[in-house]
Each structure stands twice: as C-alpha cells, then as structure tokens.
C-alpha cells in the first residue's frame, strides 16, 4: 500500500482527499496542516476528527515553509507521493497580503520539493489554479494557452509553483503533475468562498455584494469530481511533467448562481452591486480534453445537483449536527 503525504490535509479539498484515500483503502496517509487563522482553525480540526482513531492516518501540525519542520517530517516517514494542497488561497486577499502568499505558496512549494528530492520521493502532485490563465480571452482555457496575463498575486504564486515543479522534474526525474483546479465547491467549503458566503448572507437576510453586473462566469466544479481527478493523478504513468485542467467545463454566470441559491434556500437575495475588483477575471472555463485523455477524468455532477448536496450540508451545520464522510452522495467522500 502506498504512503502518501497530503499537505493542507485539514482544509476543504485536503480533508475530502483524506476521506477518499482512507475509505477506499488506497493508501496510508500522513496529513500536515499548520491550522493558521485564515479562517477558523476549529473548522479545519472538525474536518478530520472522524479519522482520529484511524490507524492508517496520522496528522502533523507543522508549517510547510519551515525547512526544519519538513526535514523532520520527511526524515521520520517514507513517502511514495506528495499531494501538495496547502497554501494561502483567494484572489482578493492576495492583493492585501502579497508577502504572506509568497512565503506560503512559493517558498512552501520549494521546501516540499527539496525535501521530496532529498528523500527520494518519486511523485509530486501540485494543486495549481485556473487563476493562472488570468485575462486570457480565448475560451475554454487549454493547458497550452499562454499564462503571461495573471491578474493577481495568488495567480502569480501558483504559476511560480508550477515552474518549481517543472524544474525539479527536469533536474531530478521526479514525476510532477500540476492540476489546475477550477472553482471547487461542496460540503466543507471555506466560509470565505462565494457559494458558502452567499448562502450564509442570504439565510440571514443580509445583503450580498456582487462586483460588476453579475455577468462574470465561473466553471464551478463539485468536490467529488475534483477528488476523482486528484486520485487518478496518483496513477498517472506518462511523462515526467504534466499540467492538467480539472474543471466542470460548464461555466455559469454569477447571477444564475445566485438564482439557484435563492431557490435552494427559499429566500430572495438582497443584492448590492459594487464596482469590479482588481484581480477578478471575467470568465473561467476549463478545456478538460487532456484530463479525459490522460486521467480518464469525466466530471458528472451538475451545478444544480452539487448545490443541493452543499445546501444539505450547510443546513446541517446551521442546526449543529456534524457532517460525516458517509453522508456524501458518493461513497468515501
């Protein structure tokens, strides 16, 4: 059985990946997370509490940007693969705190790659972002499209992470796969992300802010589909370096998203229209041809179905019960 390190294991995507790997018996998992206060650390701790007695899982509280912490972690464990999901996320916050993003997302990635190289880890999977496509006007976004028009610090750090992975793959023969993720949503979604934030505000009767006229489009991708793509990348046996889109390939206007949330919550949204924000892009739209060819990736969850599951979880946490891995529509998530 493989031994896999998952960074950012207590976060939204990381905790779902841990669920899948453990519930399907795919690996022994070591998770690492520094439980920073980007959002409430107690939320992240709850994401993993149902694995506290699982003998195939261990959790380390450490900072990926600290070489000493990672030297100790890699020295005490043998890993077949690193799945690197940790880092600061979000376009707008990155404009406020660019140096924090550089430290976590760029230095953190280099620290992990160097540790993986020195400890003979053969496979490295990096969670990149659709934001690297920036202001590209050609859609859908393909992996061969230029990435010289990034519009945020966050995007720049993700692009730097991809470059680091390419470098270590070239220098040391490490198999590195960079997965460009498109607007992931689902149960346990971070509270600052649009679907979760809008749901909370609409439920409270508090106005939501829409930047621009609501015509911006995002390729919302359900968490189960993303995790299937990540797991498929664990078995990718092609070239030593690849960049692959993981998206739903069905972009939806922001105002349509609000309509679906209004319907699901049974309440009308109070909307404040605001000027467009620096760093925002008009559309994200994944060309997933390469993912289908190399990973067998086929997203199956419509936005309508995914939001129904998300809102079931959202109502549940509002009532105080805990979401468990077995409560998902798909086994193991």
Q: Which residues are catalytic?
A: 154
Phi, psi of 125 (to 5 degrees): -110, 125
Nearest by Cα to 150 from 113, 99, 95: 95
The C-alpha atoms of residue 179 and residue 244 are separated, in whole angstroms, by 5
Nearest by Cα to 31 from 63, 2, 1, 5: 5
Nearest by Cα to 94 from 85, 103, 84: 103
- On whether the CB atoms of residues 223 and 332 are closer than 8 A, the answer is no
Q: Are strands 217-218 and 252-253 parallel, antiparallel or unpaired?
A: antiparallel
Extract the tokens encoding 120.
Answer: 């003979």
H or E element at residue 273? strand 271-274
- On whether the CB atoms of residues 30 and 3 are closer than 8 A, the answer is yes
The C-alpha atoms of residue 88 and residue 274 are separated, in whole angstroms, by 25
Extract the tokens encoding 223.
Answer: 């968490």
Other C-beta atoms lying within 10 Å of the C-beta of residue 237: 6
Phi, psi of 221 (to 5 degrees): -130, 125
């Amino acid at each position: 059985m493989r031994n896999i390190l998952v960074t950012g294991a207590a976060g939204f995507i990381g905790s779902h990946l841990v669920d899948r790997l453990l519930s399907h018996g795919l690996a022994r998992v070591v998770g690492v997370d520094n439980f920073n206060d980007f959002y409430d650390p107690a939320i992240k701790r709850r994401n993993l509490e149902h694995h506290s007695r699982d003998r195939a899982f261990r959790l380390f509280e450490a900072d990926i940007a600290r070489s000493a912490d990672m030297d100790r972690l890699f020295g005490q464990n043998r890993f077949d693969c690193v799945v690197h999901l940790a880092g600061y996320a979000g376009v707008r916050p990155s404009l406020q705190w660019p140096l924090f993003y550089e430290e976590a997302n760029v230095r953190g990635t280099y620290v992990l790659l160097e540790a993986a190289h020195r400890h003979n880890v053969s496979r490295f999977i990096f969670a990149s972002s659709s934001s690297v496509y920036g202001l590209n006007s050609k859609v859908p976004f393909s992996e061969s499209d230029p990435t010289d028009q990034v519009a945020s610090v966050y995007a720049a750090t993700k692009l730097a992470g991809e470059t680091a992975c390419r470098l270590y793959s070239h220098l040391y023969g490490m198999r590195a796969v960079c997965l460009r993720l498109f607007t992931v949503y689902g149960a346990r979604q971070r509270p600052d992300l649009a679907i979760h934030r809008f749901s909370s505000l609409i439920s409270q009767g508090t106005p939501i802010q829409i930047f621009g006229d609501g015509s911006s489009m995002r390729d919302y991708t359900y968490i189960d589909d993303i995790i299937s793509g990540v797991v498929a990348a664990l078995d990718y046996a092609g070239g030593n370096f690849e960049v692959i889109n993981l998206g739903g390939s069905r972009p939806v206007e922001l105002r349509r998203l609000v309509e679906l949330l209004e319907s699901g919550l049974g309440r009308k949204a109070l909307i404040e229209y605001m000027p467009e924000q620096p760093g925002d892009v008009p559309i994200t739209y994944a060309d997933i041809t390469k993912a289908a060819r190399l990973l067998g990736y086929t997203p199956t969850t419509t936005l309508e179905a995914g939001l129904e599951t998300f809102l079931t979880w959202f109502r549940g946490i509002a009532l105080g019960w805990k979401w468990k891995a077995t409560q998902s529509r798909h086994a193991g998530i």
